[in-house]
Structure formats: C-alpha cells, structure tokens
Amino acid sequence: MIDIALLEHLESYLTEKRRARFYQVLSQRTKHFTVAIEDVYQLHNTSAVIRSCDVFGIQDVHIIEERNSKRIDREIAMGSQKWVDLHRYHSAEDCLTELRAQNYQIVATTPHKDDCQLSDFDISRKSCFFFGRETEGLSDLILNEADCFLNIPMVGFTESLNISVSAAIILQELTSKLKKSDVSWQLSENEQIEKRLDWCKKTIKSIDSIIERYHSQQ
C-alpha cells in the first residue's frame, strides 16, 4: 500500500506547476500498449525508442539484452528513462513469458510479412510491439511466437526504416487512435498514485533524508 500521507508530504516539495505536470502526463499514460526491444546494438537506437515511448505515453518498455547489454544513452533519451519503467531480460523467452502472463498480444514489427498494415491494426487488444536488431531484425523465436505481424506501408526503394523511426511512427499512429476510442486505456488510480510517488522520489533533491525525517516525526 502506498503511504498517501507520505506522498502528499513529498508533493509539497514540488512547485504547483510541477505537480500539475505530473497529473497531466499521468492522465495520458497507458499500459494497454507496451514496447519490447530485442538486442538492439546501437545504443542511441534503444535510447531513442525509450524517448518515443515517453513522448507518446507508453509507460513500460521491455529490453532484451541476450547479446548486447549497455547503459542507456542519457543524452539521446533526454531524461525519458526517468519517467518510463524499464524492464530488462537476459533472454527473449523470459520476456515473452512475462508478457504472456500479463495477457499481452505479441506483435512482431517487420517489413517482410504482410499480415497487418498499420492502418488496419486492432487497437482493442493489449499489445506489445517488438522491434528487433538493426541488421537482422527480430529473432526466429519472436517471429515464431508472434500473434500477428505489423508493418508500415512503404512505397520507395528502401525496404525498411530505422528502428527508432519505426517505433515513433507506430506509436504515434496507434496511441492517437487508442485515445479516441472507447477502450479503457488509462492507468488505474493505484498505478497513477504509484507513479506520483516514484516520480517524486526521482525529482526531489535529498529525497532520502526528507523521507527519513518524515518517518522520524510520525
């Protein structure tokens, strides 16, 4: 259980503008859609995808680091890693197991399978969009386990887009549709309260001493 009194105490350290910003951003956050990145080699690509997730209101990002394990490029991510929840896995299988347990549809993004184009995607189902390695794409495991394949229509000579560009296009299109729909896509009240507390802890300076002092006075 979240200590509401503690949350209110911590929020008193925030400016009114910052508190209002937290509420505004949380009202647009969703876990109905999520994103998984499989073994992306270029660090700036992973960071840019995380940034796009924050921009378009995706709260959870799943990062598979079976081959490549690197820190997030803070300059590219522009601090967005502080506002989204990163979940790391040592194998694609572990990631799939976790997402299946949360009733997510596994959506493989690929230009090589003409299963579902972006404009036709069914937004009503909880979905995780998988993006793969820059040169190889998604692994055979993800492709074999996918419930559907999603591609972006392209009419030029180039057959694929950069992973971060693909993620931005897909998320912008589908979150826009989602928020105009009747689907219950927003975070629950408890989830929003949890994020308010989490963001306070990540925002306020000397947070440990403030919390310690608060508890000593109770």
Q: What is the pLDDT of residues 158-167, one digit of tens each?
A: 667 788 899 9
pLDDT of residue 112: 64
Task: Answer yes or no: is pLDDT of 200 > 80.
Answer: yes
Name the band, by pLDDT with cuts 50, 70 and 90, for residue 76: very low
Name the band, by pLDDT with cuts 50, 70 and 90, for residue 45: confident
Written as six digits, the tokens of 6 are: 């503690």
pLDDT of residue 116: 81
pLDDT of residue 212: 93
Question: Rounded mean pLDDT of 174-190?
Answer: 97
Contacts of residue 114, defined as CB under 8 A and 6 or more positions apart, other chains included, come to: 149, 151
d(CA 13, CA 8): 9
pLDDT of residue 78: 53
Q: Which residue has the tokens 């793969």?
A: 132
Contact 195, 78 (CB under 8 A): no
Question: Rounded mean pLDDT of 2-17?
Answer: 94
pTM of the model: 0.90
Contacts of residue 207, defined as CB under 8 A and 6 or more positions apart, other chains included, come to: 10, 200, 201
Domains of the chain: 1-27+188-218 (no CATH), 32-185 (3.40.1280.10)
pLDDT of residue 155: 73
Segments of the chain assigned E as strands? 33-38, 60-64, 85-89, 105-109, 116-117, 127-131, 148-151
Name the band, by pLDDT with cuts 50, 70 and 90, for residue 67: low
Task: Answer yes or no: is pLDDT of 188 > 90.
Answer: yes
Task: Please give the torsion angle defined by the CA atoms of residues 46, 95, 177 and 171, in that order, rounded to the nearest 10 degrees.
Answer: 10
Residue 89: DSSP 8-state: E
Question: Rounded mean pLDDT of 99-116?
Answer: 87
Q: Using N-to-C axis directions, what is the helix angle for 43-55 and 163-179, rounded to 10°?
A: 10
Q: What is the pLDDT of residues 114-149, one digit of tens each?
A: 678 888 999 999 999 999 876 678 999 999 999 999
Task: Answer yes or no: is pLDDT of 75 > 60.
Answer: no
Name the band, by pLDDT with cuts 50, 70 and 90, for residue 217: confident
DSSP string, 112-127: T--SEEGGG--TTS-E
